């Protein structure tokens, strides 16, 4: 009778951890996106007649996206950390920051 070889477990014992900066950058990017969506909803309900507070919320969201992008790029340089969160944070915050910059450029041109 032939014995089946048991599956050998390939454990990797590493000192890698999830990047705290990457997680924080992703959280900041998602907060910026949430503020943007909230700002669009409030602006649509006000039929485009937003207040100064709505504009300041937009500037705050742009600054949050910029801070998230800078933090995400810095988290990519960390040694001994997994790359998942830093890469996701860089992509997401880059897209959100690009969207905010495009929105402001179009707003200044119109």
Delimit the domains of the chain by residue range: 20-109
pLDDT of 60 = 92
Distance CA 15, CA 8 (A): 22
**110 residues of the chain, pLDDT tens digit each:** 556 666 667 777 777 787 888 899 999 999 999 998 998 888 888 887 878 888 888 899 999 999 999 999 998 888 878 888 889 999 999 999 999 999 889 988 98
pTM for the whole structure:
0.78
**Nearest Cα residue to 75 out of 29, 24, 16:** 24
């Amino acid at each position: 009778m032939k014995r089946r070889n048991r599956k050998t477990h390939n454990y990797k014992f590493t000192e890698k951890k999830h990047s705290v900066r990457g997680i924080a950058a992703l959280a900041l990017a998602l907060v910026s996106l949430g503020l943007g969506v909230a700002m669009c909803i409030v602006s649509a309900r006000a039929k485009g007649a937003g207040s100064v507070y709505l504009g300041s919320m937009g500037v705050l969201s742009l600054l949050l996206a910029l801070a998230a992008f800078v933090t995400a790029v810095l988290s990519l340089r960390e040694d001994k950390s997994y790359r998942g969160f830093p890469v996701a944070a860089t992509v997401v915050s880059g897209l959100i920051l690009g969207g905010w910059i495009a929105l402001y450029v179009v707003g200044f041109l119109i």
